[in-house]
Amino acid sequence: MTRKFTWFNATSLTFAFAFLYLPIFILIVYSFNESKLVTVWAGFSTKWYGELLHDSAMLNAAWVTFRVAVTTATLATILGTMAAYVLVRSGRFHGRTLFSGMIYAPLVMPDVIIGLSLLLLFIALSIDRGMMTVIIAHTTFAMCYVAVVVSSRLVSFDNSLEEAALDLGCTPLQAFFYVTLPIIAPSVVAGWLLAFTLSLDDLVIASFTTGPGATTLPIKIWSAVRLGVSPEINALSTILISIVTVGVITAAFVDRRRAARTGERA
């Protein structure tokens, strides 16, 4: 039985999309505003994009954020995959409940608590705050998300494939790298991308653990917005939105081509 697309559904959908995307559309439009006043339209101009390219502080913050995000995602993926493998494959062991609780706790813990606790830890250990402390802090909570994503794939993994590799002479480590890892690779990549996004977007934890020379882009934008929103911030936001849009469209295109190839083979 097919349901009709009523006027109520159409109205609800319109308001929902307007609520989500109208502010983004307005931000993009005003990034091309000639006036320095965000709310006053003075004509079309791309000068704020030029100003952004010459803003060394903003570009440096973007470079720091990218390096932190890549390093965090890599470390979190390695540690999170190891944690997921232990949780799923090791069965019952002494301390498993505590271990799993420590893995899942940062998922529900407020960012302020995580940031404050890590700040106190770094102070107690006399560790100077900088890029390394931000990476450690981001890895601490990002690896938990990777563990959840990878463990969900390992739960449905066919163990007989590993057993066959072991019967053919592989060591457990070789069986993992040659059999298990290629099969769970999509979930590992998804975990890496999730950790990269979380690190790229984080403001609260980074504000507690950052130091001189390690200002991330969210902190830089937050500091600039506190003094007033400028069209330069709108231009930066438009660039980030464009990058995300291109990434989503590319992923959808690749997924559609892969589905088409799978259908042809079937």
| pLDDT tens sequence across 55-97 | 888 888 889 999 999 999 999 999 999 988 888 877 677 777 7
Q: Is residue 121 domain-resident?
A: yes
Do the beta carbons of residue 28 and residue 238 sit within 8 Å?
yes
pLDDT, position 133: 93
| Cβ contacts of 52 within 8 Å, gap of 6 or more | 58, 232, 235, 236, 239
Q: Please provide the average confidence, as pLDDT, over all residues in the chain.
A: 85
Domain count, the chain: 1
Q: Is residue 67 domain-resident?
A: yes
pLDDT, position 195: 92
> Over 60: is that where the pLDDT of 1 sits?
no
Q: Is residue 124 domain-resident?
A: yes
Q: How confident is the model at residue 265 (pLDDT cuts 50, 70, 90)?
A: low
Q: How confident is the model at residue 54 (pLDDT cuts 50, 70, 90)?
A: confident
pLDDT, position 264: 60
Domain around 74: 55-238
What is the domain-level CATH number for residue 204? Answer: 1.10.3720.10
pLDDT digits (tens, 9 = 90+) for 221-263: 888 877 777 788 888 888 888 888 887 788 778 778 877 776 6
pTM (two decimals): 0.82
Q: At what angle do helices 96-108 and 131-155 cross, to 10 degrees?
A: 120
Q: Is residue 28 domain-resident?
A: no
d(CA 88, CA 42): 60
pLDDT digits (tens, 9 = 90+) for 92-113: 777 777 878 888 888 888 889 9
Q: Is residue 173 domain-resident?
A: yes
Q: Is residue 150 domain-resident?
A: yes
Q: Residue 33, SS3?
A: strand
Q: Is residue 6 domain-resident?
A: no
Q: Is residue 144 domain-resident?
A: yes
What is the percent of the chain with per-residue pLDDT over 90, rounded to a whole number?
21
pLDDT digits (tens, 9 = 90+) for 145-184: 999 999 988 888 888 888 888 888 888 888 888 888 888 8
d(CA 175, CA 105): 31
Q: Where are the beta strands (DSSP E) in 109-192?
A: none
Give, rounded to a whole angstrom, the gap between the first and last alpha carbons of the chain.
Answer: 29
